[in-house]
């Protein structure tokens, strides 16, 4: 049950183009908020956080996330969940140790590209959504010409002590098969040293099957 959620997290591609969102903020407020999100993304070099991943059926699994820019991220799942989602800065990899399967995608084909490449111009492909709380910022990215690419909605809380004045709370990915995967973060920490070896993985496939 967790396998499908993790695969959706890794694989649902995101095309970087503009999309109209229902009831958006006024244009000036849109630009100001997106600029703040961009400042947050650029201010975070490294990050660690605990996460809870939940699928549409309400089934959840826990783990720890590691992020290091440019382009590196790792989702280490709790004991007994023999999967891994990791990016080495070039490709995002989903590893299933139970069935000895490895799948890889370019980072740009993943919804996580929004978080991993802070140099992308958010105003070209993202819009700010209305939120019932003034302290909350929600940003959505989607390509209406390619519905199969899915949608990602990212949530921040305004926090003066956090990088760029925002604290990343998590995100939701909705793919073309209507699979909904939600990541909620807690215990966020920034600015620590994270070794590049964190973003490597043990390949479970027999050597003669690897490519």
Residue 19 lies in a domain: yes
Residue 195 lies in a domain: no
Residue 207 lies in a domain: no
Residue 94 lies in a domain: yes
pTM (predicted TM-score): 0.84
Taking only the tens place, the pLDDT of each residue in 68-94 is 998 999 999 999 999 999 999 989 999
Per the structure, how many domains does the chain have? 1
The pLDDT, as a whole number, for residue 15 is: 38
Residue 119 lies in a domain: yes
Question: Which domain does 151 fall in, by range?
Answer: 2-186
CATH number at residue 105: 2.50.20.10
Residue 50 lies in a domain: yes
Residue 77 lies in a domain: yes
Say how far apart CA 121 and CA 110 lie, in whole Å.
Answer: 16
The pLDDT, as a whole number, for residue 25 is: 54
Closest alpha carbon to 65 in 171, 174, 173, 175: 171
Taking only the tens place, the pLDDT of each residue in 150-201 is 788 999 999 999 999 999 999 999 877 788 899 999 999 999 999 999 999 9
Say how far apart CA 130 and CA 166 lie, in whole Å.
Answer: 17
Q: What percent of the chain lies above the pLDDT cut of 70?
A: 82
């Amino acid at each position: 049950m967790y396998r499908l959620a993790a695969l959706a997290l890794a694989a649902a591609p995101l095309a970087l183009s503009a999309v109209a969102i229902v009831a958006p903020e006024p244009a000036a407020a849109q630009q100001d908020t997106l600029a703040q999100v961009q400042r947050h993304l650029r201010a975070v070099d490294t990050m660690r956080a605990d996460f809870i991943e939940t699928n549409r059926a309400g089934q959840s699994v826990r783990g720890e996330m590691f992020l290091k820019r440019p382009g590196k991220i790792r989702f280490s799942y709790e004991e007994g969940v023999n999967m891994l989602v990791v990016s080495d800065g070039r490709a995002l990899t989903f590893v299933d140790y139970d069935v000895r399967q490895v799948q890889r995608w370019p980072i740009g084909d993943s919804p996580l590209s929004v978080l991993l490449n802070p140099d992308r111009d958010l105003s070209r492909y993202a819009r700010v959504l209305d939120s019932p709380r003034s302290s909350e910022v929600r940003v959505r990215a989607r390509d209406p010409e390619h519905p199969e690419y899915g949608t990602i909605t990212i949530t921040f809380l305004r926090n003066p002590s956090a990088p760029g004045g925002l604290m990343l709370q998590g995100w939701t990915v909705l793919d073309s098969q209507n699979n909904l995967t939600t990541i909620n973060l807690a215990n966020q920490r920034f600015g620590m040293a994270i070794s590049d070896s964190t973003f490597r993985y043990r390949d479970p496939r027999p050597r003669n099957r690897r490519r």
